[in-house]
Structure 1
Amino acid sequence: MRSVEEHQRAVADLIHPRPPVAVSLHEAEGLVLAADVTAPICLPVFDNSGMDGYAVLAADVAGATPESPVRLPVAEDIPAGRTDIPTLVAGTAHRIMTGAPMPFGADGVVPVEATDGGIDVVTINAATAQGRHIRRAGGDVAEGATVLWAGQRVNPPAVGLASALGLAQLTVRPRQRVLVISTGSELIHPGTPLAPGQIYESNGVMLAAAVRDAGAEVVAAPTVSDDTAEFSAVLDRYGVRDGAVDLIITSGGVSAGAYEVVKDVFGREGDQGVDFVKVAMQPGMPQGIGRVGAAAIITLPGNPVSAQVSFEVFVRPALRRAMDLPAPDRPRRTAILSETLTSPPGKRQFRRGLFDHETGTVTNYGPPASHHLRFLASANCLLDIADDVTELPQGTEVEVWDLTGCTG
């Protein structure tokens, strides 16, 4: 059997980054910049007031105090957004709002709190210094300066800065486009009454959520029966062979029995570009990887815990690396085991667990069987037990994968 490490490398080699692309600011959020961003303008664009108050010549109000105020006629009213910038005449004041352009000739702003708020004539009770409460053009960003760097993830402040600079797009490493296919004639969608032998589909919904959580895009998440023609039609419908999809993830149809639709479509001996292998792990032994046209394909087992654990171990880190997203691997922690556990020889086991961050202890959560989805839904970690370990006594130090870390 193939080791976990070998299969991780094979999956990583299969998923390739997409070429950089310019996208809208909304689409860029959360992605990684593929090019530096330089400022096409300065910020602020013009000298503006940092306070609601009165633009003045500092010399005109140098002696103002509450006991000996200075009274000046208000010659202009300058709200934010005014485009015809007036000139201040000595011995007058202009009422001005925060962000409004400074009038030519003014060299200071008196906050409204230091005045009587007059409209025609203002009484000023405090002096101001030259340059006081003025935001100078270029004081934040100089035109031509590099403000964002390639490899930086686009966060909300980066989006805000780009917009403030008048940029409508950013060049980023685009999301991987993923088609998730859940297989099985027994599957029906939630909300439909169950007939004997039927179960509600869960893998497609779960894996699609995992793809989005990893930062990639879900093209679609159809469910198909164990019918090879239907499966092939889905590939055609979503343009798999035409480059519309970067990765296909399937669940089910890869075991050793009859009606294994994924194996039937791609050849049980891997003769159509897909290799079906066994990986020395529990859960998740039957796996498959290959290519369908330009798209990579990863075939996961059908049991829900096997599918999700396989995604965590193999697919998630490879997806994030292909998008240059930070911290592709879940954080690894060392924890003290609160009970004795056994593990099958020759297989690396991933057990669901509850990790207590305060005490540094971990408790096994639920049985190891791959159909117990309930426990995975509430687990916050995976216990990583090496393939040469068959028993872990209580109090042993174990490595856990923190499932609460590095989302999105």
Structure 2
Amino acid sequence: MAQLSDDCFAFGGALMSVDDAQALIAARIPAPEDEQVVPLAAARGRVLAHALVAPIPLPPFFNAAVDGWAFRHAALNADAPTRLVEAGRAAAGHGATRQVAAQEAVRIFTGAPMPDGTDTCVMQEDIQRDGDAILVPPGLKRGANARPAGEDVAQGAVALAAGRLLGPAEIGLAAALGQARLAVRPLPRVGVFSTGDELAEPGVPLRAAQTHDSNRFTLLALLAGLPCVASDLGILPDDAARTAAALASAARDHDLLLTSGGVSTGEEDHVRAAIEAGGSLVFWRLAVKPGRPAAMGMLPKAGGDFTAGGTPVVGLPGNPVAAVVCFLHLARPLLLRLAGATDRPLPRYAAVAGFDYRKKAGRREYVRVTLRTEGTITRAHKFPREGAGLLSSLTQSDGFAELPEHVTRVAPGDAVTVLPFAGML
């Protein structure tokens, strides 16, 4: 992985906007240089290290797009059916063996090479038989129902850019271009902690004043859709020394650490203090609601200093909805940067507000909404409760309405931008 130093960030303010935090990450996190070559079947979810330049055209030859007959377009009558004598057969993987004359047609099947002398196909359902001939209706354009070589990807063109996250479509394209192996970036190692004596593992009976830990599992599930290897590092107790020791140890074996809780101003919030004591605090508090008490810093990877590089630490809020918001806007772009992936903006689309809402200027807010399609309009209705601890609100709403820093009021009918949970959570 790329080496990070303790001064790769430079921010002295007390409160950072979402845009500034993301710009800081993009500008200062170095792109990884290492690469691995993996079989195509193992490439899903990896990040392409180098651009894939098409070594062949795709499709590699002029071929039929339908089952039908191939012929010369110049032989067609302009305003009457044309009688063409059937002369041979071209199947996928084989093709015709001779030049086709002007008044001939070759029976052809989808994917078969277009015989020499032909340039157009007619679909089998569009012709009439006339003994050993076919009648082709007028009106076909030259090249109809045929696919030229390189129609999809031209030879020498960039088929996939470096930094592309490889999914099923990308892997299919690489296979079509004959690639059995791909060079990819190493997967960043991400460690995930929860913090607090009030937390118990799911499946363990609760003691008095305890609740089951949910944030850790939410974060691990979010990481499962990103290019990384995630590790469950358990729950940190409310103990300053043990928190500092656990973070320092984990920083040596991981490329990114995520915590939830422990970054506010309480006497039992030890994560921020551990980052400050053992490394460098980049910023504390993000100008976003829900999610203000978020912290970011660096811990040394080895040797007690930053000579071997540093490990970023993102301290997410303890409230579940706030943790999700800060993960999406802070941890996610940081992880993609560490993975060498190009920027992948969160999905957004336009809707119309179905609610009235007031907010402070200078802070971005994410309001949970349900969506209703009314004719051609998608209307966003505010979830009735606002608490950042309401985890069920993420299952009972459809997305976040994103209210920018300059907005102070939303009225019914106003245009809003929605980040849908589908494909994101």
Partner of 1:97: 109
1:223 aligns with 2:230: no
Q: 3-state SS of the aligned residue for 1:381? A: strand
Q: Which residue of 2 aligns with 1:275?
A: 281
Letter in 1 for 2:54: A
Residue 175 (structure 2) aligned to one of 140, 147, 163: 163
| Conserved 8 A contact 1:289-1:299 | yes
Aligned-pair identity in percent equals: 32
* TM-score, normalising length: structure 2: 0.64
Could you tell me which residue of structure 2 aligns to residue 5 of structure 1? 17
What secondary structure is seen at the aligned counterpart in 1 of 2:295? Answer: strand
> RMSD of the TM alignment (CA)?
5.4
Counterpart CA distance in 2 for 1:378 and 1:199 is 21
- From 221, 224, 246, the equivalent of 1:209 is 221
**In structure 2, what residue type is equivalent to 1:291?**
M
SS of alignment partner, residue 32 of structure 2 = coil
Q: Do the aligned partners of 1:20 and 1:174 also contact (CA within 8 Å) in 2?
A: yes
Distance (Å, rounded) in 1 between the aligned partners of 2:352 and 2:342:
27
Cα separation, 1, equivalents of 2:44 and 2:410: 45
Q: What is the TM-score normalised by the length of structure 1?
A: 0.66
Matches of 2:195 and 2:158, distance apart in 1: 49
Offset, 1:377: 4.7
Greater mean deviation of Cα atoms: 217-226 or 251-260:
251-260
Distance 1:89 1:329 in 2: 52
Is structure 2 residue 252 aligned with structure 1 residue 241?
A: yes
Q: Which residue number corresponds to residue 320 of structure 2? A: 304
Q: Is the 8 A contact 1:53 1:97 kept in 2?
A: yes
Q: In the TM superposition, what are the counterparts of 1:189-208 in structure 2 within 5 Å?
A: 189-208=201-220
User: How far apart are residue 82 of structure 1 and its match?
Assistant: 3.7
Q: Which has the larger radius of gyration?
A: 1
Is contact 1:43–1:165 with CA below 8 Å preserved after alignment? Answer: yes
How far did residue 79 of structure 1 move?
Answer: 3.5
The answer to whether the aligner puts 1:81 opposite 2:93 as a matched pair is yes
Question: How far does residue 272 in structure 1 lie from its aligned partner after superposition?
Answer: 0.9
CA gap 1:232/1:41 in 2 versus in 1, 3 angstroms? same
- The separation in 2 between residues aligned to 1:362 and 1:93, in whole angstroms, is 61
Match of 1:45 in 2: 60
Structure 1 112/88 Cα, relative in aligned 2: closer, same or farther at 3 Å? farther
Aligned mates of 2:100, 2:422 — CA distance in 1: 59
CA distance in 2, matches of 1:135, 1:396: 50
The answer on whether the counterparts of 1:331 and 1:401 sit within 8 Å (CA) in structure 2 is yes
Unaligned 5+ residue runs, structure 2?
1-12, 302-309
- Note if contact 1:249-1:298 (Cα within 8 Å) is conserved in structure 2: yes
Gaps in structure 1 of 5+ consecutive residues: none
Aligned residue among 374, 395, 400 for 2:392: 374
Cα distance in structure 2, aligned partners of 1:131 and 1:394: 54
Q: How does 1:346-365 map to 2 (within 5 A)?
A: 348=363, 350=365, 352-354=367-369, 358=377, 363=382, 365=384
Q: Quote the offset at 1:202 in angstroms.
A: 0.4
Query: How far did 1:54 drift?
Result: 6.0
1:71 to partner: Cα distance: 7.1
The residue matched to 1:302 in structure 2 has which SS?
coil
Count of matched residue pairs: 383
Q: Per-residue displacement from partner, 1:181-219 (whole Å, max 9, x unpaired)?
A: 122344333344434343211011222334456x44351
AA in 1 matched with 2:327? F
Q: Is the 8 A contact 2:333 2:343 kept in 1?
A: no
For residue 247 of structure 1, report the CA deviation from its aligned partner: 1.4
Whether 2:42 is the aligned partner of 1:17: answer no
Shift of 1:250: 0.7
* 1:143-173 per-position Cα deviation (integer Å, ceiling 9, x unaligned): 3344445577767655443322212355667
Q: Deviations over 1:278-337 (max 9, x none)?
A: 527565454432223132111223232442343345334444566322436967989686
Matched, 1:288 2:295: yes
- Matched to 1:338, the amino acid is D
Q: Secondary structure at the match of 1:371?
A: coil
SS in structure 2 of the partner of residue 126 of structure 1: strand
Classify 1:17/1:27 alpha carbon distance in 2 versus 1 (closer, same or farther; 3 Å).
farther
Moved more, 329-338 or 249-258: 329-338
**Cα offset for 1:273?**
0.5
